[in-house]
Amino acid sequence: MQQMHDAVIVGGGPAGASCALWLARLGLAPLLVEASGRLGGLSVDNPFADDWIAVLPGMTGQQVAANIDTSVRAAGVPLRLDTRVTAVRPCKGGIEATLADANGDVSQARGRTLVIASGVRAKGFPEHPPGSQWPGVLIGPGSPIVAQDYSGLSVAVLGGGDNAFENYVYVRNRGARAVHLYARSVRAQQQWVQRAGKEGVRIGPYQVDPATRSVDGQRYDLILVFYGWEPQAAFADGLQLARDARGYIRTDFATAETSVPDIYAIGEVAHRMHPCVVTSMADGVVAAKAIQRRWERAGE
Ligand SMILES: Cc1cc2nc3c(=O)[nH]c(=O)nc-3n(C[C@H](O)[C@H](O)[C@H](O)COP(=O)(O)OP(=O)(O)OC[C@H]3O[C@@H](n4cnc5c(N)ncnc54)[C@H](O)[C@@H]3O)c2cc1C
């Protein structure tokens, strides 16, 4: 007979890992499922100093991710790495998740509750399917931007938010031959707008063709795209959870429960609070305590 976990948690970023750790230490039986080979979520791709976590001074995002891995393993949380949840559906007594591992093997996991902690992904070009790739076109911030050699290259940076302006300044200082920033409108904080200056910054409509790496007909060696983020939880579409206009899952502030009983959503996929490592981890705690209370009440 297949094991019934107290919670199947989808996503091993700060939110899901924190929820799993708390549930395990509260004496419940979670299963943590992570699509990639590592815990830590977006922090795995953050090579920069993370100066925003008061109890972890001097750490990079990647060290934060490594600490998450250590903490989850120390709590004895059952883990499925390199395993993607592809669908979820209600079953007797809870939820059944379909899991696909890196070898293409498919299995099922059952939980009394489901915790959706699958985070966000960087947005690409709206006219192309999510995940589309082209040579010389990098989508989103993080390690690939840092690993790139810019010497002598012409670079177009696209986007009007903090990430676009911050990375425009970054690339300009890395030996590129020419760098232009294209922003349809400006949403970035004033500190980044001022540091970017006016030269090379083009505000207004533009046309981009990723296949030829050109913007308004001008060809570039590299195009860096910073169009913001979008929630990733298509596997849960069949559950008809209430979402906001941008697709983020709506939750109850006190419990992190979604519009469907016993299904919780935490971290960036729910966009409950300012998204960062600390708020995502706090969300995990809120859901874990709500799940514990739920089963204590059921046992009364
Ligand atoms: C470059 C960069 C720098 C950053 N710097 C900071 C910083 O300095 N300080 C800070 O506090 N925050 C920072 N952040 C933000 C921080 O990393 C995020 O807010 C945080 O990681 C969100 O946690 P999460 O658990 O909600 O989601 P994520 O970190 O996105 O984790 C979600 C996880 O779910 C997994 N997943 C998705 N779908 C599935 C599925 N179907 N099945 C199984 N697994 C799935 C993903 O592989 C991922 O591991 C930074 C982010 C980036 C990109």
Q: Residue 231: CB within 6 Å of ligand 1?
A: no
Q: Is the CB of 118 under 6 A from ligand 1?
A: yes
80 in Cβ contact with 101 (< 8 Å): yes
Q: Is 159 in the pocket of ligand 1 (CB under 6 A)?
A: no
- In whole angstroms, what is the distance from residue 96 CA to residue 108 CA? 7
Which CATH architecture does the domain made up of 4-119+232-299 adopt?
3-Layer(bba) Sandwich (3.50)
- Atom in ligand 1 nearest the alpha carbon of residue 42: 29
**pLDDT tens track for 146-200:** 999 999 999 999 999 999 999 999 999 999 999 999 999 999 999 999 999 999 9
CA distance 273 to 251: 11
Predicted confidence at residue 11, as pLDDT, reads 98
- Tell me the whole-structure pTM to 2 decimals: 0.94
Residue 24 main-chain phi, psi, to 5 deg: -65, -40
Closest ligand 1 atom to Cα of 84: 42
What phi, psi does 171 have (nearest 5°)?
Answer: -65, -40
Q: Is the shortest distance between the CB of 117 and ligand 1 below 6 Å?
A: yes
* Coil/strand/helix, residue 268: helix
Domain 123-225: give its CATH code: 3.50.50.60
How close is the Cα of 40 to the center of ligand 1, in Å?
A: 7
Q: Is 214 exposed, middle or buried (0-12, 13-18, 19+ CB in 10 A)?
A: middle
Position with higher pLDDT, 295 vs 55: 55
CA of 119 to the centre of ligand 1 (A): 6
Q: Where in the chain is the domain with CATH 3.50.50.60?
A: 4-119+232-299, 123-225
Provide, rounded to the nearest whole percent, the portion of the chain with pLDDT above 70: 99
DSSP 8-state secondary structure symbol assigned to residue 175: T
Closest CA to 84 of 70, 97, 69: 97
- In the numeric block, the tokens 């985070």 are attached to 119
pLDDT one-digit tens code per residue, 100-113: 999 999 999 999 99
Among 42, 55, 62, 167, which residue has the most ligand 1 atoms within 8 Å of its CB, making it the best to mutate?
A: 42
